Amino acid sequence: MKEPITEPKKKPGDIDILLYKEGNESNAVGIECKIVKSESLENQPPKINKITSVQKKGTKQADGYINIGFSRVFLMVILLDDGRHYKNPNFVFRTTPTEELKELYDFDWNTKMNTEVGIIYAYVNQLTSNHINQTKGLGLRIEREAKERIQCDGLTEKIKNLNY
Amino acid sequence: MKILARLKKTIRTFIQKEPPPEYEVTQFVISDRQPITGASKISFFVNNPQPGASVTRTFENEDDVINWLMSNADFKHIFSKIYFHHPLSSIIVA
């Protein structure tokens, strides 16, 4: 979603997820999403990309959500984890080991991102060779709650005027 | 009150397009919708000899991932339960 919630040529370029209860538009939640990809390889460490980009772009864009005036703002990091080549015989555990994702989890969100922004980690795990729509692992963790603020009146009006 | 609650539950179940999941949703969910018909020679537990596409390449861009997640009944269920503590059906996702 872009206009009327966002303004042209201003951060964030768009709103990834907007959540609100009908009749309670003054408590809307804006969620900026960033994707990290991890791919298991035969007899090699997993190939993980976009972590630095997530940290740099995600923090800046989340600031943009704060400026728009949402009641609560989250940065949701979505990990697409292809675990098909991990050797664990129990497919449920074919996920990227935590130590391989230290760069992501050890990021100093507290000093490098607005402390009002909450952090959500979402996981999509491909555990077998089936298509992701067929067999998958899903995980969700709210790492840090967003600080609730009084929402900007202008934003509330814009949300009320959306046709959903 | 109990009768009213039961009636509400019956109506909700009737309206739902998909049957409710038969597992208890916790912070981590494993979902499998592969029908067990015996027609497939590929075991659920053994790697497919002709592996499909990696999930890292299934979606063309970020928006595709977000749209897939937010339209996924399992994810929505977890998301609403953990964060909002009530069904996402009462929340508008835009």
Q: Give the mean pLDDT of A47-69.
A: 87
As a whole number of angstroms, the distance between CA A90 and CA A108 comes to 33
Q: How many structural domains does chain B have?
A: 1
Provide the domain limits for residue B85: 61-94
Q: Do the domain assignments include residue B39?
A: no
Would you state the pLDDT for residue A79? 92
In a domain, B6, yes or no: no
CB pair distance less than 8 Å for A135 and B27: no
Cβ neighbours of A82 in B, within 8 Å: 54-56
More confident: A148 or B83: A148
Nearest-neighbour CA in chain A from B21: distance (Å): 14
Per residue in B23-52, pLDDT (tens digit) is: 455 555 566 555 556 555 444 444 444 456
- Chain A residue at shortest CA distance from B90: A21
Contact status of B37 with chain A (Cβ, < 8 Å): no
Residue at B68 is within a domain: yes
Instruction: Tell me which of A154 and B87 has the higher pLDDT.
Output: A154
Show the 3-state SS of chain A: CECECCCCCCCCCCCCEEEEECCEEEEEEEEEEEEEEEEEECCEEEEEECHHHHHHHHHHHHHHHHHHCCCEEEEEEEEEEECCCCCCCCHHHCCCCHHHHHHHHCCCHHHHCCCCCEEEEEEEEECCCCCCCCEEEEEEEEEECCCCCCCCHHHHHHHHCCCC
Helix (H) or strand (E) holding B64: helix B62-70
Does some domain include residue B18?
Answer: no
And the tokens for A127?
């555990």
Calculate the average pLDDT of chain B.
Answer: 67
φ, ψ of residue B89 in degrees (nearest 5): -60, -25
Q: In this complex, do B30 and A82 lie within 8 Å of one another by their Cβ atoms?
A: no
**What pLDDT digit, counting tens, does each position of B14-26 carry?**
777 666 555 455 5
Rounded to a whole number of angstroms, the distance from the CA of A80 to the nearest CA of chain B is: 6
ipTM of the assembly?
Answer: 0.83
Res. A149 pLDDT band, cuts 50 70 90: very high
The answer to the question of residue B53 being in a domain is no
Whether A41 has its CB under 8 Å from any CB of chain B: the answer is no
